[in-house]
Structure 1
């Protein structure tokens, strides 16, 4: 079941960032976006919304005023550049409070809270084991068929994207998960992994040899994409 979501912000770029991040979560359905509180209020009267990303400072009415006006508000994640509003936001039972510019790592933690709050842990496809960024870089949790598999990132040789799925190649097995490669790219430690192609992320530590057009891992040749060549060679030369 999709989580019906609305994004309310008077800054187009801020909306674009949230929309881009949410593309990594197939469980989310962005119903609409609004640039002010009044239009958001009318939308909320007409549609069933489960989750709202809500800017605090907007023309007309503020995000806080909008939330106070709702008899049955959806779950709310506040977004703002002003930390002084955080206390009031949490007093209104907001799930989280994201300070702009919002990093993907911080956004991921907010989404984890939403999934837990909605009571469906099956929705969590990739989560951190602890709250620290150091631990986040050590493990991935991948949804493989009906179970969640814990993967130590040091065991990953490469990741291959195939349409809406990824193949995670380990020494002794291959894990297939319905996931976007862009999300895994955000989560993996930059010092250990490199995107060499639109369809490939490699562990630089596992590379056996490389050319200007390909790398070799486990005896398999993986292509270096034209648009990734400069970045890929820089990563490989730094190892």
Structure 2
């Protein structure tokens, strides 16, 4: 497996450190580097990569603002000198949060997470058609795979490093990302309406332009997902 990456940091020395770390990892290559997030955002419209190494404190557009603008970003590893953005970063579904100065061992651990996620995604993609024709999926929980009936799922919620799957009769917590679940659940029955929520459209009791009511919960429609969500709901 070979993965490509963008490095986004306003400090040339920080870019050099990450480039050096990347050069030591087989199967990972730097596709481009950027000293501001605006140029990186424009480049991502024309070129796809697997990983973003993203600084937070940058002029014009911060790393957090950059992430909020992206609907379906690549896997993101935050690289920053500031601890205080960690919670917000994980709420935006980043893979890892690295504090500068970044040692190679810590860097390698973060990159290994991405390789593992891509391996899982490739396997999921190969079986996607099969899963879509079934009425259930299996998700890893602890050391076993748990069967989830699709027509019983109410919603799926991101819980930082975990995902909560709420069904009509149980709750299942799996050590996966919301993006992983989004790739496994069939369209159009399941719709991502917020950075933290995927809903089962068959479970909708009512909806407005700002929120969706499901059994036992009201879920907000995120600004980034509103256009696509309302398009599906109106159809």
Q: TM-score, normalised by structure 2?
A: 0.50
Q: After TM superposition, list the pairs within 5 Å mapping 1:67-82 onto structure 2.
A: none
Q: What's the secondary structure of 2:228's corresponding residue? A: helix
Superposed displacement of residue 217, structure 1: 0.8
Superposed displacement of residue 193, structure 1: 1.0
Superposed displacement of residue 162, structure 1: 1.0
The Cα RMSD (Å) is 3.9
Superposed displacement of residue 199, structure 1: 0.5
CA distance in 1, matches of 2:144, 2:120: 24
CA distance in 1, matches of 2:25, 2:48: 12
Instruction: Give the equivalent residue in structure 1 for 2:162.
Output: 165
Distance 1:147 1:8, change over 3 A: closer
- The count of aligned residue pairs is 147
Larger RCO of the pair (alpha carbons < 8 Å, separation 6+): 2
Consecutive unaligned residues of structure 1, counting only runs of 5 or more, are: 27-46, 52-103, 113-126
CA distance in 2, matches of 1:10, 1:221: 42
Residue 232 (1) aligns with residue 229 (2): yes
The one-character-per-residue Cα deviations of 1:85-137 (angstroms, maximum 9, x if unpaired) are xxxxxxxxxxxxxxxxxxx999834xx4xxxxxxxxxxxxxx57xx5532222
Pairing partner for 2:139 from 139, 142, 157: 142
Superposed displacement of residue 21, structure 1: 6.0
Superposed displacement of residue 5, structure 1: 6.4
Residue 108 (1) aligns with residue 141 (2): no
Residues 209 and 216 in structure 1, CA contact (< 8 A), matched pair in contact too: yes
CA distance in 2, matches of 1:179, 1:106: 13
Pairing partner for 2:50 from 17, 24, 31: 17
CA distance in 2, matches of 1:166, 1:10: 30
Instruction: Give the equivalent residue in structure 2 for 1:67.
Output: none
Pairing partner for 1:6 from 13, 26, 29: 26
Distance 1:205 1:15, change over 3 A: closer
Structure with bigger gyration radius: 1
Q: After TM superposition, list the pairs within 5 Å mapping 1:208-219 onto structure 2.
A: 208-219=205-216
Q: TM-score, normalised by structure 1?
A: 0.49
